[in-house]
Structure 1
Amino acid sequence: MDIILVRHGATEAGPGICQGQADTALSNQGFAGVQQLAANWTGAAPRFLFSSDLRRAQQSAQIFAAAFAIEPLSDARLREQDFGTWNGQHWNDIVRADASRHHHWQENWVIQEAPDGESFADVIRRTGAWLAALLGSTARDDCVLAIAHAGSIRALLCHALGLPPGRALAMAVDEACTSRIRYTAGQFEVRHINSTRFEAN
């Protein structure tokens, strides 16, 4: 089974914003970026199209849904990390107003929750639950497309690569870019990461 992970396009949030689970919309640039990516799809249409239930992912998924005449399946387990009270704030403002908690979080971000939010370990757990359910309900030759976020895609790639969560930030996951993993013979293979094109098998 092939799992193709796409990060949503650019949003209306300005640079430096901690988006987290703030429900931001795609910008015009974001729509164009995802449309360009979708236009480069090669091969048969995916059997399933999943999406985070956040608006920026849903809007990105609709572009692929129109291209493939397929209904997106919304799943909150694919959401971005929840940064709690920091969602939607500028990181510079967070550092100024909440310096102590930000410092503690930054030093322990894998296991430390953001205020009223979740840790990256929490994201690992919920995306792992989605992945396990997917493996239990799909066939060997299925292709699955999932529209998600930098945090949830990094978590899924950690599962696939067997990476410790602390190495997640070593992987670039840019907007309107794609990563492909393949599950075969009981293990994952990573075919490509953070590409602006759907690269051939």
Structure 2
Amino acid sequence: MDLILVRHGNTDVEPGICLGQAERPLSTRGFTDVQQLAATWNGSAPRFLFSSDLRRAQQSAQVFAAAFATEPLTDPRLREIDYGRWNGRHWNEIMQSEPDSYRHWLDNWVIQEAPDGESFADVLRRTGAWLAALLGSTANDDCVLAIAHAGSIRALLCHALGLPPGRAQTINVDASRVSRLRYENGQFDVRYVNATRFEVD
């Protein structure tokens, strides 16, 4: 199975915002970037097109859905990390208003939930459940495209590559970028990560 992971396009959120699961639409640039990425697709349509159920991911998925004449399968397990009461707030404001909570979270972000939110370990669990279900329902020659977020894509790459969760932040996952993995004989191989276009194998 080929697993292709795409991060949604940019939003109009200003730099420094803790976006998390706050709902924000794609910006004009975000739409354009996703369209340009989709135009580089090569080969036949994927068997499955999945999307996080957050708005920015669904809007990105619709670009691919139009190209493939299909409907995305939305799955909340592909959502971005939930920062709870920090969703949509500026990091500077969070640091100033909740310094102790912020420092404790920053020092233990893999296992520490954001206030009223979740930890990266929680994201690993839900994306791992999605990945296990996917592997149980696909064949060797299937191609799966999933539109998700930086946090959920990093979690999936940790699963696939066997990376320690603490290394997740070392993986660049930029907006409108694509990563491709091949699952065969019980293991994943990396074809490319954070690419600006769909590459031919």
Fold shared, TM-score > 0.5 on shorter chain = yes
What residue is the counterpart of 1:144 in the other structure?
A: 144
Deviation string 1:137-161 (CA, Å, 9 cap, x unpaired) is: 1111000000000000000000011
What residue is the counterpart of 1:126 in the other structure?
A: 126
What residue is the counterpart of 1:68 in the other structure?
A: 68
Does residue 61 of structure 2 align to residue 51 of structure 1?
no
Paired with 1:138 and 1:185, the residues of 2 have a C-alpha distance of: 13
Q: Tell me how far 1:175 sits from its aligned partner.
A: 0.1
Q: Tell me how far 1:43 sits from its aligned partner.
A: 1.0
Q: Which amino acid aligns with 2:20?
A: G
Identity over aligned pairs, percent: 73
Q: Tell me how far 1:109 sits from its aligned partner.
A: 0.3
- Runs (4+) of structure 1 exceeding 3 A deviation are none
Secondary structure (helix, strand or coil) at the match of 1:131 reads helix
Paired with 2:32 and 2:61, the residues of 1 have a C-alpha distance of: 13
What residue is the counterpart of 2:25 in the other structure?
A: 25
Paired with 1:191 and 1:102, the residues of 2 have a C-alpha distance of: 36
What residue is the counterpart of 1:191 in the other structure?
A: 191
Aligned positions, number: 201
Q: Tell me how far 1:28 sits from its aligned partner.
A: 0.3
Name the TM-score, length of structure 2 as normaliser: 0.99
Does residue 10 of structure 2 align to residue 6 of structure 1?
no
What residue is the counterpart of 2:153 in the other structure?
A: 153
What residue is the counterpart of 2:181 in the other structure?
A: 181
Q: Which amino acid aligns with 1:167?
A: R
What residue is the counterpart of 1:86 in the other structure?
A: 86
Paired with 1:26 and 1:97, the residues of 2 have a C-alpha distance of: 29
Q: Tell me how far 1:200 sits from its aligned partner.
A: 1.4
Paired with 2:194 and 2:26, the residues of 1 have a C-alpha distance of: 19
What residue is the counterpart of 1:42 in the other structure?
A: 42
Q: Tell me how far 1:199 sits from its aligned partner.
A: 1.2
Paired with 2:131 and 2:182, the residues of 1 have a C-alpha distance of: 12
Deviation string 1:29-57 (CA, Å, 9 cap, x unpaired) is: 10001000000101111110000000000
What residue is the counterpart of 1:106 in the other structure?
A: 106
Deviation string 1:158-195 (CA, Å, 9 cap, x unpaired) is: 00110000000110000000000110001011110000
Q: Tell me how far 1:13 sits from its aligned partner.
A: 1.2
Q: Identify unmatched segments of 5+ residues in structure 2.
A: none
Paired with 1:166 and 1:199, the residues of 2 have a C-alpha distance of: 29
